[in-house]
Amino acid sequence: MNIVFLDRKSLGDDLDLSEFKKLGNVTEYGFTETADIPERAKDADILIVNKTLVNEQTIGTATHLRAVCVTATGVNNIDIPYLESRGIGWHNVAGYSTDSVAQHTIAIALYMYEHLPYYDDYTRTGKYASDTLFTHFAKTFHELTGKQWGIVGLGAIGHRVAEIASVLGCNVVYYSTSGVERHEKYPRLDWDEFLETSDIISIHSPLNSHTEGLFNTAAFEKMKSDALLVNVARGQIVNEQDLADALDDGTIGAAALDTLSREPMAADSPFLRMKNKDRILITPHIGWASTEARQRLMKIILEQVKEEIK
């Protein structure tokens, strides 16, 4: 049994793969360029990928392939009809990172909401050591109690963020991108009211025809001038040039992003050209990647492989 990891580095180097090695021969590639996939996959029985492309061109010569396991929830990188036409099984994972992403949402939101980048710099550079007052009021912040936290995408992660935000004293509301009426304990607002009244907005929805480019200049102009936008979903939900402009001209207060339209970050990203970079925090798509979440993910993949080789 040949088990091949095509982009092992995407899982982190700290994970233990010893259980996989008990099931067969394990071959690990840190990264795999598209042109190299046919050669690396040709003898695989089980192929484990994250973002690597899986289609007729890349695995057409993999004659022994039984299954493809995707170490993510999204499967837009695999050609499902082609796999099914060959009788090759496919699996993805879901629900493994709910707590991790929710925690990261709260962390980056609070980091920006309390202007912690400014205060960190203020002390690190020695400015506090040369001050005369024990406290510093250059960047004031507000309590979360009584503020409105708006959620786009009230799925598992959205619900977890809503629970935490409620504990912090926020009034949670949500906007439904699908328009489907559901019974929720949180109020559902129409788009304009949602934008106009929310102090913090966090995005947790999938990328689809309803959400692509949803946050653009028109949306930012409806938001509060001190509103905070948090995106831990998909980068394409936010028009990045529009957001950079809205932050630079003060249309909205700040943004915290864990996903971008292009990852790794594009060299010509509008965020790199911003004048007011203190208004934005960008983390490199790490919200899903707590140690515990990645361990849960690999346990799910392990069970999938075991099922395939029975």
Catalytic residues: 234, 263, 285
For CA atoms 127, 128, 132, 136, give the dihedral sign.
Answer: positive
Contact partners, residue 275, CB within 8 Å, separation at least 6: 248
Q: Is 233 exposed, middle or buried (0-12, 13-18, 19+ CB in 10 A)?
A: buried
Q: Give SS3 for 308.
A: helix
What are 231's strand-pairing partners?
203, 257
Instruction: Round to whole Å and give the CA distance between 310 and 298.
Output: 19
In the block, tokens 């932050």 appear at 247
Spatial strand order in the sheet of 228-231: 171-175, 148-152, 200-203, 228-231, 254-257, 280-282
Q: What tokens appear for 298 in the block? A: 């690999």
CB 119 within 8 A of CB 136: yes
What are 26's strand-pairing partners?
3
Q: Which of 149, 154, 48, 52 is nearest to 98 (CA)?
A: 154
